Amino acid sequence: MKHFIVGPVETYKEVQNIYKQPYLYFRSNEFGEFVKETLNRLSSLIGNNDKNSLLYLTMSGTGAMEATIENCVTPKDKVLVINGGIFGQRFCELLKFHNIPFDSINLKWNESLTKEHLEYYENKGYTTLFVNLHETSTGQLYDVKLLSEFTKRNNMFFIVDAISTFLADTYDMSKYNIDVTIISSQKGLCLSPGLSFVSLSKRIIDKIYKTTPSSLYFDFKDYLKNIERGQTPYTPAVFIMYELKAILDLIDNSGGLEKWLSNIKEKCQYFREQICKIGLNIPTTYNLSNTMTPVICDTVNANELVKYLRDHYEICVNPCGGNRANYMFRVSHIGNTTKKDIDILIDKIQKTIEVLAKRN
């Protein structure tokens, strides 16, 4: 099976089977030093050079989103959420569950977020903005500068789920005054699912020390104390930490971050050219991430196309949710795939459309 999904993505051979190698006892000083060094390297890719500001949690991305809510906002806050799809909606559901007052800017799936959307919310006492910078369900990449300036003007904390944009698009936490960055192992990092990372600004750390989360397991104060020694309060996903070191080495050895990003961008642009050549379209009303391409397919049923690719060609792409599943699917450009793989994918999409068109 060849995966063109957003995560877990095709892994690199440098990362595979790392768990079969000798490993350290996780409570040892040596493991702690190894973790600290590895997290420092990841921190610098995120654009946060503060010491001990990057926590890692053994849970999927949604766990890190929920932990962030518990530790970074309270019922005294007034939160604004950019809700442009499934993941924005998830922030809303989590905030509601935790009794945090919030409003949301609800976008139609093909509606671009602009400064006009934000105008109404200026000077209204909002304390914190939550955004999924790349809303993976639609493929919209929001304008980080626009949101950064809005939060700065309104003296708000700026909390970013960067799970599906980090390591595919440029990202810089300090440049845009971001207070929290959430990322996850199975997307741009191209690792096994199971580890999430939360990078924190100094001022949000101050707030965390004054906040009581609603669960013990998620208490960031405990993680912050432990991370000074490269430790965690509870057993971490040790092997994914080894995978993390392996992918950071691979990024370095293949020319560094910019080269890594430009390779993904190249695959992404190549795919977009080729998919348009065979007569399909990509959305033009909003800005896209290099992570993936939403493809509009209205001559045959897109959901059937996704199934056919999987059943007949062992190719896996992402369907869309809800009604959009019938006319749109999504193709990821992160992970260990090549232009040659894209050629095969395009060919099989074309063949599938021919087959499905004859059926109707």
Ligand X SMILES: *Cc1c(COP(=O)(O)O)cnc(C)c1O
Residues within the interface to ligand X (CB under 6 A): 6-7, 60-62, 87, 132, 136, 161, 163-164, 184, 187
Minimum separation from the CB atom of position 132 to ligand X (A): 4
If the CB atoms of residues 36 and 330 are measured against ligand X, the closer one turns out to be 330
Residue 71 φ/ψ, nearest 5 degrees: -95, -20
Minimum separation from the CB atom of position 17 to ligand X (A): 23
Under 8 Å between Cβ of 6 and 290 = no
If the CB atoms of residues 195 and 353 are measured against ligand X, the closer one turns out to be 195
If the CB atoms of residues 133 and 300 are measured against ligand X, the closer one turns out to be 133
Q: In whole angstroms, what is the distance from residue 285 CA to residue 294 CA?
A: 12
If the CB atoms of residues 32 and 335 are measured against ligand X, the closer one turns out to be 335
Under 8 Å between Cβ of 97 and 75 = no
If the CB atoms of residues 85 and 213 are measured against ligand X, the closer one turns out to be 85
Under 8 Å between Cβ of 52 and 37 = no
Give the full edge-to-edge strand order of the sheet including 79-83: 54-58, 195-200, 180-184, 157-161, 128-132, 79-83, 102-106
If the CB atoms of residues 61 and 294 are measured against ligand X, the closer one turns out to be 61
Nearest position to ligand X, beta carbon: 61
Minimum separation from the CB atom of position 271 to ligand X (A): 19
Under 8 Å between Cβ of 108 and 135 = no
Handedness of CA 216, 221, 225, 230 (dihedral sign): positive
Q: In whole angstroms, what is the distance from residue 275 CA to residue 238 CA?
A: 40
Minimum separation from the CB atom of position 6 to ligand X (A): 6
Minimum separation from the CB atom of position 249 to ligand X (A): 24
Minimum separation from the CB atom of position 62 to ligand X (A): 3
Handedness of CA 195, 201, 204, 209 (dihedral sign): positive
3-state helix, strand, coil in the chain (%, to 5): 40, 15, 40
If the CB atoms of residues 32 and 188 are measured against ligand X, the closer one turns out to be 188
Amino acid in the structure at residue 293: T
Minimum separation from the CB atom of position 59 to ligand X (A): 8
